[in-house]
């Protein structure tokens, strides 16, 4: 089936179907496209569209295991449109208990009549078989909807129970996290608009909204009075402790959320440079900063792993939010879990090269903050430990007690209620040339 560009979805299930078709054809989760369908949906359909779209994307492995258990043919022989319709139907049968089973089956059959007419009888038969209650998959990775290699890696690192809790957390839909501009009075404006915003229990300055609707409709959006950023991202900037008058480098800055937070949390007055690798990413960064009135930031294109002479020992603070596997943000980007093991194998070498280069930009007495949004130890503590072993001029420094009292914090999503981040704060005790 050809991807339905420009179509307007009639209801939640059709919106989910269009988005899953787009995902298959484009190769990455099309979040912006998914949300672009919302204005054409009746308001009552939007929460269900969100639930089905993200839920199916998160649990494809689980859903396919159930389909496979009752299917008369291999899934490779099922046409893509029919398979996506089956996933939508099975997800409702297994995970949306408030939807009657008959409704889950009937609405899926209607989708099949419209988009996979040759497979209507097959879709109907499979869904009725699943509705009757096939056995649950025996393997944890199938039940949790994660690739087998990733489940095994998490279990080896964290143990069965912690790994299982993380994988189940990854399948939940996160609340919207709003970071207000200081002094904007946003909390009162949200309350006046009838929008319930709850402070995050661990990270001050973060407001959690369960049912936000469209972000662009929130009070303060047009004025740039808030930024959307996970509590863990704010925590990373808090750990950096930017101060007025400091010279600061945000070395891997796009799309710019942490750059904005650096400015806000410092109270202003930073001499701020923001860099990223490619021109397109720099353009995105510039657009973000312009929206928040930060045109004075020096935006530059540059490879964070390649030495730039003019930056040598020039900064009081360097934020190294390095490229990583992203396995700490699966809850928000469900397709990340489907990366192959080979795709992420070389990341620690890249991260170590970036950290080693950026260390040369820190003034004696300055701070280097290493940040990832992954939960894998080889991208986190192992990279920092290797760095400290060869760069004796740096030492770990406690921050945000008691969370980072040994100079590093591994944010664990089920425990902390936020994305999985790793944050390490390192103090440069003397000049590089003195070592």
Domain limits of the chain?
A: 12-138, 146-171, 176-228, 231-434
Name the phi and psi angles at 358, rounded to 5. Answer: -65, -25
- pTM for the whole thing? 0.92
The token pair that represents 12 in the structure block: 């939640």
Which residue out of 206, 252, 324, 373 is catalytically annotated? 373
Please spell the DSSP secondary structure of 186-220, one letter per residue: HHHHHHHTT---EE-SSSTT-EEESS---GGGSTT
| Calpha distance 274→242 (Å, rounded) | 14
Helices and strands in the chain, H and E counts? 18, 12
Q: Domain 231-434 maps to which CATH number in 3.30.70.260, 3.40.50.150, 3.30.70.1140, 3.40.50.620?
A: 3.40.50.150
CATH topology of domain 176-228: Alpha-Beta Plaits (3.30.70)
The token pair that represents 316 in the structure block: 């009081």
Those residues of the chain that have pLDDT short of 70 are 1-7, 212-213, 402, 432-435
| Calpha distance 8→281 (Å, rounded) | 30
**pLDDT single digits (tens) 154-180:** 999 999 999 999 999 999 888 999 999
Enter the CATH code of domain 12-138: 1.10.940.10
The token pair that represents 411 in the structure block: 């944010």
H/E element holding 79?
A: none
The token pair that represents 10 in the structure block: 């009639």
pLDDT at 8: 81
252 is catalytic: no
Q: Yes or no: say if 186 and 178 are a contact pair by the CB < 8 Å rule.
A: yes
| Angle formed at CA 357 by CA 250 and CA 231, multiple of 5 degrees | 35
- What is the Cα 283 distance to its own chain's centre? 21
- What is the Cα 346 distance to its own chain's centre? 21
pLDDT at 6: 56
């Amino acid at each position: 089936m050809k991807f339905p560009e420009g179509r307007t979805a009639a209801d939640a299930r059709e919106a989910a179907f269009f988005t899953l078709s787009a995902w298959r054809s484009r190769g990455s989760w099309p979040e912006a496209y998914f949300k672009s369908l919302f204005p054409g949906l009746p308001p009552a359909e939007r929460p269900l569209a969100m639930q089905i779209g993200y839920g199916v994307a998160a649990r494809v492995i689980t859903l396919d295991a159930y389909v496979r258990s009752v299917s008369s043919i291999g899934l490779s022989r099922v046409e893509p449109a029919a398979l996506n319709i089956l996933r939508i139907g099975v997800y409702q049968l297994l995970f949306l208990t408030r939807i009657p089973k008959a409704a889950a089956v009937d609405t899926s059959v209607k989708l099949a009549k419209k988009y996979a007419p040759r497979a209507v009888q097959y879709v109907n038969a499979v869904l009725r078989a699943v509705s009757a209650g096939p056995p649950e998959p025996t393997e944890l990775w199938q039940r949790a909807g994660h690739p087998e290699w990733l489940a095994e890696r998490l279990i080896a690192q964290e143990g069965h129970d912690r790994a299982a809790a993380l994988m189940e957390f990854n399948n939940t839909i996160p609340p919207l996290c709003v970071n207000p501009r200081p002094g904007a009075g946003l909390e009162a404006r949200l309350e006046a608009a009838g929008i319930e915003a709850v402070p995050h229990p661990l990270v001050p300055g973060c407001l959690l909204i369960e049912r936000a609707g469209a972000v662009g409709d929130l009070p303060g959006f047009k004025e740039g009075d808030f930024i959307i950023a996970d509590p863990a991202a704010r925590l990373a900037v808090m750990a950096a402790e930017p101060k007025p008058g400091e010279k600061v480098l945000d070395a891997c800055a796009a799309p710019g959320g942490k750059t904005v937070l650096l400015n806000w949390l410092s109270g202003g007055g930073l001499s701020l440079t923001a860099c990223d690798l490619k021109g397109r990413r720099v353009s995105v960064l510039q657009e973000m900063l312009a929206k928040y009135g930060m045109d004075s930031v020096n935006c530059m294109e540059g490879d964070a792993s390649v030495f730039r002479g003019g930056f040598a020992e020039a900064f009081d603070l360097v934020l190294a939010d390095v490229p990583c596997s992203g396995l700490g943000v699966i809850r928000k980007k469900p397709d990340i879990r489907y990366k192959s093991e080979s795709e992420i194998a070389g990341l620690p070498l890249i991260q170590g090269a970036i950290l080693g280069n950026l260390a040369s930009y820190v003034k004696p007495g300055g701070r280097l903050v290493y940040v990832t949004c992954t939960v894998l130890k080889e991208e986190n503590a192992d990279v920092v430990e290797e760095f400290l072993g060869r760069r004796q001029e740096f030492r770990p420094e406690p921050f945000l007690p008691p969370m980072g009292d040994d100079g590093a914090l591994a944010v664990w999503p089920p425990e902390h209620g936020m994305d999985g981040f790793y944050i390490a704060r390192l103090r440069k005790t003397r000049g590089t040339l003195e070592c």
